[in-house]
Structure 1
Amino acid sequence: MPWGATRFLFLIGALSLFIFGMKTMTEGIQASAGIRLRQILESMTKNRVTGVLSGFLLTGVLQSSSATTVMTVSFVNAGLISLAQSAGIMMGANMGTTITGWIVSLLGFRVDITVYALAILAVAAPLLFMRKTEFRSWGTALTGFALLFMGLGFLKETVPTFSENSGFVQLIISYANIPVLGVIMFVILGIIITLIVQSSSTAITLTMAFCATGVIPFEAAAAMVLGENIGTTATAEVAALVGNVHAKRSARIHTLFNIIGALWMVFLIPYVLPLIGKFLAADPYSNTDAGHQAATIGLAAFHSVFNLTNVLLLIWFVPQLVKLATKTVRSRGRDDETFRLEYIDTAIQISEISLVEAKNELVKFGDITMRMCSFVRKLLTETDSDVQDDMHKRIQKYEKITDKMEVEIANYCARLSRMELSNLASERVRAILSISNNLESLGDVFYKMSSTIERKSAAKIWFTPDQRINLLEMFDLINKALANMLNNLEKDESEEIDINYAKDLERKLNKMRNHLKHEYIRRIESGNYNMRSGSVYSDLFSSLEKAGDHIINVSEALAGEI
Structure 2
Amino acid sequence: SMFHTVFNLINLSIMIWLTGMYVKIVEKLIPAKHKEDEEFQLKFISAGLLSASELNIAQAEKEMTVYAQRVQRMIDMAENLVHSKEKSEEFSQLFSRLEKYEEISDRMEIEIANYLNRCAEGRLSNEGKLHIAAMLNIVSEIESIADCCFGCAKILIRKQESGVDFTELIYKNIDTMFGYLKEAMTDMIELLSDVEKVREVAIIRSYNKEREINNLRNQLRTNNVENINNKVYEYQSGIYYMDIINDLEKMGDYIINVVDTIRDHFRKHVA
Is the contact between residue 98 and residue 150 of structure 2 (CA under 8 Å) also seen in structure 1? Answer: yes
- The yes-or-no answer on 1:428 pairing with 2:131 is yes
Letter in 2 for 1:531: Y
- The equivalent residue for 2:257 is 553
**Displacement after TM superposition at 1:459 (Å):** 3.0
- Identify which of 27, 33, 44 aligns with 1:343: 44
Letter in 2 for 1:354: N
- The yes-or-no answer on 1:522 pairing with 2:223 is no
**Displacement after TM superposition at 1:479 (Å):** 0.8
- Identify which of 174, 181, 185 aligns with 1:482: 185
When the two structures are aligned, how many residues end up with a matched partner? Answer: 231
**Displacement after TM superposition at 1:526 (Å):** 5.3
Relative to structure 1, the CA distance from residue 460 to residue 508 in structure 2 (aligned partners, 3 Å threshold; closer, same or farther) is same
Is the contact between residue 167 and residue 233 of structure 2 (CA under 8 Å) also seen in structure 1? Answer: no
- What is the 5 A alignment of 1:376-525? 376-383=78-85, 385-496=88-199, 498-525=202-229
Q: How far apart, CA to CA, are the structure 1 residues paired with 2:206 and 2:265?
A: 13
Q: How far apart, CA to CA, are the structure 2 residues paired with 1:460 and 1:524?
A: 17
Letter in 1 for 2:61: K
1:215-271 superposed Cα distances (whole Å, 9 cap, x missing partner)? xxxxxxxxxxxxxxxxxxxxxxxxxxxxxxxxxxxxxxxxxxxxxxxxxxxxxxxxx
**Displacement after TM superposition at 1:438 (Å):** 0.3
- What is the 5 A alignment of 1:272-421? 335-337=35-37, 338-344=39-45, 345-383=47-85, 385-421=88-124
Q: How far apart, CA to CA, are the structure 1 residues paired with 2:83 and 2:231?
A: 28
**Displacement after TM superposition at 1:457 (Å):** 2.5
Q: How far apart, CA to CA, are the structure 1 residues paired with 2:91 and 2:33?
A: 26
Letter in 1 for 2:161: A
Q: How far apart, CA to CA, are the structure 1 residues paired with 2:33 and 2:150?
A: 27
**Displacement after TM superposition at 1:454 (Å):** 2.1
Q: How far apart, CA to CA, are the structure 1 residues paired with 2:232 and 2:83?
A: 25
Is the contact between residue 403 and residue 440 of structure 1 (CA under 8 Å) also seen in structure 2? Answer: yes
1:330-386 superposed Cα distances (whole Å, 9 cap, x missing partner)? xx9971121122211324252211111111111111111111100111112222711
**Displacement after TM superposition at 1:560 (Å):** 2.5
**Displacement after TM superposition at 1:555 (Å):** 1.9
Gaps (5+ residues) in structure 2?
Answer: 1-31, 267-271
Is the contact between residue 467 and residue 537 of structure 1 (CA under 8 Å) also seen in structure 2? Answer: yes
Relative to structure 1, the CA distance from residue 544 to residue 482 in structure 2 (aligned partners, 3 Å threshold; closer, same or farther) is same
407-416 or 464-473: bigger deviation: 407-416
Secondary structure, counterpart of 1:341 in structure 2: coil
Q: How far apart, CA to CA, are the structure 2 residues paired with 1:509 and 1:426?
A: 33
**Displacement after TM superposition at 1:522 (Å):** 3.3
- The equivalent residue for 1:540 is 244
1:493-540 superposed Cα distances (whole Å, 9 cap, x missing partner)? 134361100000000000000111112233445577512111100100
- The equivalent residue for 1:246 is none
Is the contact between residue 49 and residue 56 of structure 2 (CA under 8 Å) also seen in structure 1? Answer: no
Is the contact between residue 213 and residue 249 of structure 2 (CA under 8 Å) also seen in structure 1? Answer: yes
- What is the 5 A alignment of 1:80-91? none
Letter in 2 for 1:340: Q
Is the contact between residue 349 and residue 416 of structure 1 (CA under 8 Å) also seen in structure 2? Answer: no
TM normalised by structure 1 equals 0.39
Q: How far apart, CA to CA, are the structure 1 residues paired with 2:33 and 2:122?
A: 36
Q: How far apart, CA to CA, are the structure 2 residues paired with 1:523 and 1:333?
A: 45
**Displacement after TM superposition at 1:422 (Å):** 1.1
Q: How far apart, CA to CA, are the structure 2 residues paired with 1:438 and 1:520?
A: 29
Relative to structure 1, the CA distance from residue 347 to residue 358 in structure 2 (aligned partners, 3 Å threshold; closer, same or farther) is closer
Relative to structure 1, the CA distance from residue 373 to residue 490 in structure 2 (aligned partners, 3 Å threshold; closer, same or farther) is same
Q: How far apart, CA to CA, are the structure 1 residues paired with 2:34 and 2:159?
A: 34
Secondary structure, counterpart of 1:559 in structure 2: helix
Is the contact between residue 42 and residue 108 of structure 2 (CA under 8 Å) also seen in structure 1? Answer: yes
Secondary structure, counterpart of 1:482 in structure 2: helix
Letter in 2 for 1:436: V
Task: Tell me how large the CA RMSD over aligned residues is.
Answer: 2.1
TM normalised by structure 2 equals 0.79
- The equivalent residue for 1:17 is none
Gaps (5+ residues) in structure 1?
Answer: 1-331
Q: How far apart, CA to CA, are the structure 2 residues paired with 1:559 and 1:537?
A: 33
1:304-348 superposed Cα distances (whole Å, 9 cap, x missing partner)? xxxxxxxxxxxxxxxxxxxxxxxxxxxx99711211222113242
